[in-house]
Structure 1
Amino acid sequence: MRTTDVSLVPYITLREGEEAAPANLIIASEWPGKFPRLRYVDEGREDRDVRGVLWARCSHTRRDERGMPTGKPRWKLMHPSRQRETMQELRCQVCVKPARTALGFIFLAGPDDYDRDASSIITGQPPVCRRHVRAAAALCPHLDSRPMVFLARSAPLYGVHGTLYGYGPDGIQVIATPDHPLPYGHPNLPTALASQLVRRLNSFRLVDLDELLQELAPEAA
């Protein structure tokens, strides 16, 4: 497939009308003697990930008959909860179906994002399935239709991208936005508000996109 359906929009893409929810944040202990951490006043179980980190809230547009978000895409942005969902469950960022292939998981990155000799890669881009790998490469402006393609056997959870909060003159406010993801276990995570889930690719190989699709061709037969 050399062309892509212009109506195709990756599941993780933020849509017009989807906006950050009001913060209503506090820093407090859940019970006496417990270390204080960032919390929502009306926090629910879905507000934290599997490692207990608090996540940014964002509204959702209505879903279409396929269960996909609607609204004009904001191409350079990812919806935090949909990014978290696909990365946590290793589902395709385009169609939300399981991303595992017979050869492993396919992760894409911009053409200049990483050193080609790197032995370990940290990424916030959810994987793609075989069917949508070329479409994802063409649709994402950052990938520029010439992505680095990583075929990974191992991609354990690493941590999160997020914003750090603390007390300031106006109460609870942003005090830092780290350039790099914070690994799980980092001492700053109790007061972090996450926006992207990050995995580390440990066992992988860098491959050519066309060659990869040829290798995977029997799987589609």
Structure 2
Amino acid sequence: MSPVLVGRAREQTREMTPSVRTATDTGLVPFITLREGEEAAPDNLIILSSPSGLRLYYADEDPRDRDLHGVLMARCSFTMDRHKMPTGRPQWKLMHPHRQMMTMQAMRCQICAEPARTPLGFVFLAGPGTIDPEQAPTLTNQPPVCAQHAVPAARLCPHLAGHPMVFIARSAPLYGVQGALYGYGESGVQVVAQPDEPLPYGHPNLPTFLASQIVRRLGSFRVTGIDDLERELKHAA
């Protein structure tokens, strides 16, 4: 499971990313993981006036460039094989912005892109000690995992080190976005701030924000271990 990719906009391949499994000869590769050759695009961002104030756009924007709340998303190229599957060496520490957005918004498995709901609820994995379940709000930029791939992902993904935190959530509403704030500078339209924390939907800075990841808030949830999750999933099957 890969942390954030914050980059300049990239002219993405204008194809809808398919729902596919991405196990490769090198092991289980999450669908959302950035691949070698997938790069952020040259800058073609503009800021225009709108009735509500300044707003960030792509010069050649289309509706797929924005999330469900109308926030502009970072573009990234795709490398896919003839079966429309992500291909290339995994860049384990990075997520593909479009694939992360697609799986997070639709609550699909970050490994295979199939529906992620399990008999227990939605399962979210996090690296050891990366989320404090006592701190509110409890946020994650990691899309959920399905019953089939929760345990294999936990044991094979380098980011999880074989000992993930396992969150089983009954609700996980959309919260906001991570990314960079744009404005005018010496170079024209440029990054002026990169907030450490996600901006919640409704934040006044979102009109000139370029998002790289969608964030959800874990609502009703419990924390368990991977061995307990495996037993519970087998019992519920």
**Alpha-carbon distance in structure 2 between the residues aligned to 1:52 and 1:158:** 13
Q: Which residue of 2 aligns with 1:142?
A: 159
Check conservation: 1:119, 1:202, Cα contact below 8 A.
Answer: no
- Is the 2:92–2:159 Cα contact (8 Å) retained in structure 1? no
Partner of 2:31: 11
- Where does the alignment leave 5 or more consecutive residues of structure 2 unmatched? 1-23
Structure 1 segments (4+ residues) deviating >3 Å: 4-7, 116-120
Larger deviation: 143-152 or 127-136? 127-136
Q: Does 1:187 align with 2:207?
A: no
109, 114, 128: which one aligns with 2:145: 128
Tell me the distance in 2 between the aligned counterparts of 1:145 and 1:64: 32
CA deviation after TM superposition for structure 1 residue 5, in Å = 7.0
Does the CA-based 8 Å contact 2:164-2:225 persist in structure 1? no
Determine the structure 2 residue equivalent to 1:53.
71
1:22 lines up with 2:39 in the alignment: no
Aligned to 2:191, which of 174, 184, 193? Answer: 174
SS in 2 for 1:81: helix
Q: Structure 1: any 5+ residue segments left out of the alignment?
A: none
Structure 1 residues 90 and 63: CA distance shift in structure 2, 3 A: farther
Query: What's the TM-score once normalised by structure 2's chain length?
Result: 0.85
Distance, in Å, in 1 between the alignment partners of 2:92 and 2:136 is 30
How big is the shift at 1:118? 3.8
The residue type paired with residue 148 of structure 1 is M
Cα distance between partner residues in 1 of 2:177 and 2:131: 18
* Cα distance, 1:89 vs structure 2: 0.5
Cα distance in 2 for residues equivalent to 1:214 and 1:161? 34
Aligned to 1:163, the other structure's residue is in SS state strand
Aligned length: 214
**1:188-203 superposed matches below 5 A:** 188-203=205-220
Could you tell me how far apart the structure 2 residues matched to 1:205 and 1:136 are? 19
1:52-71 superposed matches below 5 A: 52-65=70-83, 67-71=84-88
How large is the RMSD of aligned CA atoms in angstroms?
Answer: 1.7
Deviation at 1:209, TM superposition (A): 1.3
2:190 maps to 1:151: no
The alpha-carbon distance between structure 1 residues 116 and 155, as it changes in their structure 2 partners (threshold 3 A), is closer
Does residue 1:104 correspond to 2:150, yes or no? no
Q: Secondary structure at the match of 1:103?
A: coil
Write out per-residue CA displacement over residues 23-59 of structure 1, whole angstroms, 9 at most, x where no aligned residue.
20111035xx342200011110000011000011000
Output the CA distance in 2 between the equivalents of 1:124 and 1:164: 18
